[in-house]
Amino acid sequence: MPLFYGREIMSRMMLGTTQYPSPAIMAEAFGRSGAGIATVSVRREAGGAEGQGGGAFWQLVQRLGVTLLPNTAGCHSAREAVTTAQMARELFDTRWIKLEVIGHADTLQPDPFGLVEAARILTEEGFEVFPYTTEDVVLGERLLQAGCKVLMPWGAPIGTGLGLNNVYGLRSLRAQFPDVPMVVDAGLGLPSHAAAAMEMGFDAVLLNTAVARAGDPAAMAEAFGEAVRAGRRGFEADPMAPRDMAAPSTPLIGKAFLE
């Protein structure tokens, strides 16, 4: 199982907590998926504060029995992201933070400069940062230099369901940093997308919209969980390399010939 900042997680699937039709459906989705980590937006919820709207939600998340990964969703500057992360540490008593610094309003693509700046500040403050990034190898290197020990490249823009838009870039990033834990985060729409990411050697996937907005969120969550497990098993089985020419599955030796 993957290790994130020295902590072993008993599932390779991470699941978001927004957009579900009801809290009960969200809880069922987590149960059927086997997800081991739940992400939650600090800007949306009020943690365990008494008398505030987020209190009931926080209690529900606690009952899920999963590890919490707060995020800085909606932040558009390094300063805003750092402040939000500091709030998360106080509210949820964790050093883990999924760092988002959005640079483009339409694609929600990360701002690479703000992301590196915020990552450096937070790691110096003792945070264990999970940066939401693109599949850019240079940006990945800068984030690692800033103190990150995990990378979370996107598959496609958040909420699009497009899958793995840049397979070459993702493979290159995975190959460049073979020992760095990596999570494909955002843009997955089908269980097959998750299986493909796992077959490429990524350590986990993180998704939300594809499950929460499905006609049957709990069933979709279960399907994604199965796909993640199947994809990882396929990777560990050392799959055959693709080839350009056909090769017979039945050998010619021993085959009868008629003259």
**Residues that constitute the known binding site for 1-deoxy-D-xylulose 5-phosphate:** 159, 186-187, 208-209
* Residue 223, CA distances (Å) to 23, 186, 196, 216 in order: 20, 17, 14, 11
Distance from first CA to last CA of the chain, Å, rounded?
58
Q: Which residues belong to the annotated binding site?
A: 159, 186-187, 208-209
CA 165, distance to chain mean position in Å, is 15
Catalytic site residue 149?
A: no
Q: How far is CA 174 from CA 14, 41, 137, 183, 235, in A?
A: 19, 27, 9, 10, 13
| Distance of alpha carbon 115 from alpha carbon 144, whole angstroms | 12
Of these residues, 12, 32, 98, 142, which one is catalytic? 98
* Integer angstrom CA distances of residue 5 from 51, 112, 150, 173: 34, 22, 8, 19
Q: How far is CA 129 from the centre of its chain?
A: 13
Q: What single-letter DSSP state applies at residue 190?
A: S
The DSSP code sequence of 31-82 is HHHT--EEEEETTT--TT-TTSTHHHHHHHHHHTT-EEEEE-TT--SHHHHH
* CB 69 within 8 Å of CB 37: yes
Distance (Å, rounded) from C-alpha 125 to C-alpha 176? 28
**Residues acting as catalytic residues:** 98
